[in-house]
Structure 1
């Protein structure tokens, strides 16, 4: 560190930085225009040091998004050096082969100036309803990432010159998307969030000095690295292997296997995804940044507690190797829109490997699936786009049952309230929303339940686009526990039931009823050892089928 801090100042500044990142998140989703950000909270925020190392990130929002902030920042800074930035400048990028995830996730970095020099960066990323491309919301037919939307390479612009007052960048993006008022409004909310973060950091600099705040940032990163290394050192040295698979690529029935080898030596860990299947021609590939984020999120969750923030320090203790040309690190221009399914299977494979090293802390896999459920409608020249990210059941552990119908561990998204959907959209309505009895895997501790939701289409010309997983391969149990239920989706039309694949694009008719059900988590332990009181409670709550 550049100077020695007393423990009180370090604690106060550290918590202030974390608080600022959380406040940024609140500002982002409360000022957002789209339901996916405003209600689903599919966004994240953070504060970086002057070199672009992640220091503090909002722990209420999306782990998969914040885990790669530094990767995207470095791509921007390599093209437009930090020392050339001036007041009002910002970096922006959504390029999946330059640190971003998929084109719908736009990342913005705003330099924080104090007394004429940069003391850090505030960052905000949000998932946008539509970013152009070959189809509204989700282009299930894409064969390269250019067809998935407007590509924003690592770039530098100025807020007053290029964005405000319908500046050229704002005008350009708005001309290339189907729902400009929502997408541009959500980008505005990202700038608002970054302004909050910048204000809080400047306040800290005024109170403690920029040098002290910088030293506190450096120590926060070092603290996380020490804690993660200590947790790794407590594990038995060895080589641990985990495997899982994505159901298919959306075109064939061939599973997409993911394999990881975790090597623990002293206080360091190497995570190697050699043996993972090659990239595919559909949107199921996960870019490198997503794989890194998923891996670090799993290691952070399994090895440390809530008192350890998620920042650059976690990555310094872990080496992640991902073969080029694989499902988890494809070569451009492979499409990556639905990268979350492969990212989740990477998470689950690492979770299984860590469970071998720490059997007392092993957790069964959950449904661990992002369901991108998209309904779109074009009427009178205006597109309406609804995207919802569905829930699923968590896996059980040796300490208790899995949680019911919640977002997966890489997501944290909330469900969109039915009342809000009714207020925003008139071309469909929700007719049913409930837990799925019996969908959690049986065990001494049961897996969490999935849920079902039904959508009645009220206009002709509506399209359903969906990407999901675990329609074929359920979340497995541990220590004798049973597997959770698989998910499914179907269209009920004129007495017939039309199966919808986990990756599909379906034209709909007025009167159709779409039923989507998410799966449950795996159980833990022998079902015969389940506490009779817990069995009774499950029956009383209606959690048991039959």
Structure 2
């Protein structure tokens, strides 16, 4: 169908707006702090074949490959077999998903008896069972990480609202009020997407809506190919390292060869470390998201919709049995750590071809930090995802105290924690002076947060990275500071490793400190006025300011 340009503009922006409304509905309907405050969830609209058309600007990692995550569901349950009330569910990393805590819901959009698209949402769920509340840092296989949901079809009338599937989920989670409330938020978000597309089809006709979905993906593909074509052809190499596997083996390399040929790109992760026995392995769907997100961020402008059209010019490969494509049943909960190093390796490779388009490494580490306690009323589980300092760019300093580019979560306000959790309190929350890398443009500053434990029997579990390593500067910029986690107990400091679980006592103070981003360009090129501003803002010390000024 040939679309009128005005109608196409109206319809395409309406579809994008609908996806954004779904994202807002998801967050505002959520029960847990990880979704309600940290915004660790996403929403999207797919066409009838599962191609991503539009998505809310939430978590790139969750949505960059959502069309591929949908395909195993469609293979078992073709759209022609679906009925009103059906929806599809998956979280299994080895059936196309990412990690178990990210559960994907796909609701078919019916119009005049036919499926014309799907409304999709995903949320990171606070607890899905497994060997430890919220986060099992010691998992040695997938089964220890939580409830595995293979691609399956659920009916809202039969299986939810007290039905079998809902009761199964409720029986396997430690905090059913928050977890089941967040599942309901996903359903509410998807219902909004279904309604908005049905309204557009009723007003403009099904043919124009489906044609717009296809045209929007084609538009993103054209813009993506045009951006790639501006970069010189060739094969460029990058690498980054994880500290260790949590068992003492490391550092672990992630290597990328980025080949640009005309208007297409191939990313090959041959040379990456073999899979390990701990949870830092990354399922392949996550690796696709990391690679495409990095390339889109570096080479294109923000106004290009991030949909399946953006993926068409890009091919990603990773050898089976490696960190970035493990064999079943390797645990994958901390897959963001390896994917962040994939991002770093691809960005380093791109810097050789298009140096003006890249940024320095940020702390680029998803620190999933969990405090849990079994009280008289049941489990209380607090989970937050931390970032650190962002990498500096050619025309800007790195942002201070933000999440990494793949995760994009918000910091949870202290007031929200005080409202929901009685077994700890936050006693300090501050930027880390001198943690950003020096350079013509300064790396973003990391931060720290301290928690005083108010009861006996609490547990801290977390995974992180760059406790021994650090973010690298670029083009002469300096590195950011490393991270750390410490427990203050009776005046003694207990230093923990980057991946740990530790039993806490009443009165303990746990401090998690996140590193800074790398600097961009030679430090001598930074104007004195900016160094003075940094000093006044408290992000650098007097000693560093004096040394930098010289």
Give the TM-score category using the shorter length.
over 0.9
CA distance in 1, matches of 2:178, 2:410: 19
CA distance in 2, matches of 1:323, 1:545: 46
Residue 387 of structure 1: aligned partner: 383
CA distance in 2, matches of 1:411, 1:248: 21
Match for residue 527 of structure 1 among 523, 527, 537: 523
Residue 288 of structure 2: aligned partner: 292
The Cα of 1:397 is off from its aligned counterpart by: 1.2
Give SS of 1:111's match: strand
1:235-274 CA distance string (max 9 Å, x none):
1000100100111111114111000000011111110000
Q: Structure 1 regions of 5+ residues with no counterpart?
A: none
| Residues 1:44 and 2:39 are matched in the alignment | no
Residue 233 of structure 2: aligned partner: 237
CA distance in 1, matches of 2:321, 2:5: 47
Match for residue 310 of structure 1 among 306, 315, 319: 306
The Cα of 1:443 is off from its aligned counterpart by: 0.4
Match for residue 104 of structure 1 among 98, 101, 104: 101
Match for residue 535 of structure 2 among 524, 536, 539: 539
TM norm structure 2: 0.98
Which consecutive segments of 4 or more residues in structure 1 shift more than 4 A? none
CA distance in 1, matches of 2:81, 2:312: 28
Residue 466 of structure 1: aligned partner: 462
TM norm structure 1: 0.98
The Cα of 1:303 is off from its aligned counterpart by: 1.1
CA distance in 2, matches of 1:467, 1:544: 28
CA distance in 1, matches of 2:541, 2:13: 46
Residue 14 of structure 1: aligned partner: 12
Tell whether the 8 Å contact from 2:242 to 2:250 is kept in structure 1 after alignment.
no
Which is worse superposed, 386-395 or 48-57?
386-395
Match for residue 127 of structure 2 among 106, 125, 130: 130
Residue 196 of structure 2: aligned partner: 200
Residue 147 of structure 1: aligned partner: 144
The Cα of 1:207 is off from its aligned counterpart by: 1.3
| Residues 1:176 and 2:172 are matched in the alignment | yes
Residue 270 of structure 1: aligned partner: 266
Residue 27 of structure 2: aligned partner: 29
Tell whether the 8 Å contact from 1:142 to 1:283 is kept in structure 2 after alignment.
yes
The Cα of 1:362 is off from its aligned counterpart by: 2.3
The Cα of 1:92 is off from its aligned counterpart by: 0.3
How does 1:25-424 map onto structure 2 within 5 Å?
Answer: 25-59=23-57, 61-164=58-161, 166-380=162-376, 382-424=378-420
Give SS of 2:235's match: strand
Q: Structure 2 regions of 5+ residues with no counterpart?
A: 543-550
Match for residue 487 of structure 1 among 483, 486, 492: 483
Tell whether the 8 Å contact from 1:57 to 1:311 is kept in structure 2 after alignment.
yes
Give SS of 2:455's match: coil
CA distance in 2, matches of 1:51, 1:257: 37
Match for residue 431 of structure 1 among 420, 427, 431: 427
1:70-104 CA distance string (max 9 Å, x none):
11110101111111000010000100111111111
CA distance in 1, matches of 2:412, 2:37: 5
Residue 548 of structure 2: aligned partner: none
Give SS of 1:481's match: coil
Match for residue 444 of structure 1 among 440, 445, 455: 440
The Cα of 1:471 is off from its aligned counterpart by: 1.0
Tell whether the 8 Å contact from 1:68 to 1:100 is kept in structure 2 after alignment.
no
The Cα of 1:391 is off from its aligned counterpart by: 2.5
CA distance in 1, matches of 2:136, 2:512: 20
Give SS of 2:448's match: strand
CA distance in 2, matches of 1:11, 1:507: 57
CA distance in 2, matches of 1:132, 1:371: 20
CA distance in 2, matches of 1:504, 1:241: 33
1:431-464 CA distance string (max 9 Å, x none):
0001111110000110000011100000010000
Residue 546 of structure 2: aligned partner: none
CA distance in 2, matches of 1:252, 1:132: 27
CA distance in 2, matches of 1:55, 1:136: 36
